[in-house]
Amino acid sequence: MPLDPDAQALAEALDALLPGPLHSLGVDGARALAEQLGEQSPPPPPLHLVEQRTIPGPAGEIPIRVYRPSPETDLPVLLYFHGGGWTIGTLDGVETLCRTLSEKAHCVVVSVDYRLAPEHKFPAAVEDCYAALEWVAAHAGEIGADAGRIAVGGDSAGGNLSASISILARDRNGPQIALQLLVYPATEYAVERASWREHATASLLTAEDVLWFWGHYLRDEADRSDPRATPSNAPSLAGLPPAFVLTAEYDPIRDDGEQYAQRLREAGVPVIAKRYPRVFHGFFTMVGLLGKTKEALEDAAARLNDAFARPRAEG
């Protein structure tokens, strides 16, 4: 099945823009490209308040950006972690996405600028993201949020981080999480399933790119089996928050996310998994450019609203 017409046009534009696969650009080149792509996003929707802040982290201050759709207080909150292979990506790169999710789900969104590899290897990003979760739970009132209704979410590496801190929150008796929004999450290290082989040279993210990103993020081979890096290696997934797992058909790590969703189900975790056909990795953040992106954002907002409507956790 071919790509959707709008996805095909975008893939061709990306091919023309990219001098080569991401891994061939080097870290600085890949970061510059990500910034260039972010600048081409449509204007984001207006919100009641967008605020830049810093919060304490394990190795210094962590920049965050807080999005509030209205002056109401005690709104539910989504903690969002951007993608980019733990190596590239910024708060600006998911600005339009976070504004859109805040508006559609009528929730506060806290976007986290965690430390990036290779300057800060694993587990730096996980530690920052978990610290942000604890901060939101302890300071929700400061940002107009309800500590009893917290969701976590992210795309690609951000999906990986969302899954990882959900496991940590369970194991450390940390903040309760209402939903894991896992968008084509990288849940394990380079398992050669069908999607890995069939879409090894897909648009925007190739199998070689995936290995390149892992190489920058992990310290050594032993990290590949650490559940904080690869959540699928957790001995048990029982007792984790409900999850909405989104995957893209033309994505080398598609089957990783779908396998993780199946493991969650087998552990008794409520899961909704949806594969979006005829699009490639990265589509979720391409707000205003692809029809499937609009569909996925509507789906994500609906799942967030469902999760936030469940009986409240103790704040």
Catalytic positions: 156, 251, 281
Burial class (CB in 10 A: 0-12, 13-18, 19+), 156: buried
Beta strands at 75-81 and 145-155: parallel, antiparallel or unpaired: parallel
CB 61 within 8 Å of CB 287: no
The tokens describing 225, both together, are 């089996």
**Three-state secondary structure along the chain?**
CCCCHHHHHHHHHHHHHCCCCHHHHHHHHHHHHHHHHHHCCCCCCCCCEEEEEEEEECCEEEEEEEEECCCCCCEEEEEEECCCCCCCCCCHHHHHHHHHHHHHHCCEEEEECCCCCCCCCCCHHHHHHHHHHHHHHHHHHHHCEEEEEEEEEEECHHHHHHHHHHHHHHHCCCCCCCEEEEECCCCCCCCCCHHHHHCCCCCCCCHHHHHHHHHHHCCCHHHHHCCCCCHHHCCCCCCCCCEEEEEEEECCCHHHHHHHHHHHHHCCCCEEEEEEEEEECCHHHCCCCCHHHHHHHHHHHHHHHHHHCCCCCCC
- Residues 282, 293 contacting (CB under 8 angstroms): no
Closest CA to 253 of 64, 85, 49, 27: 85
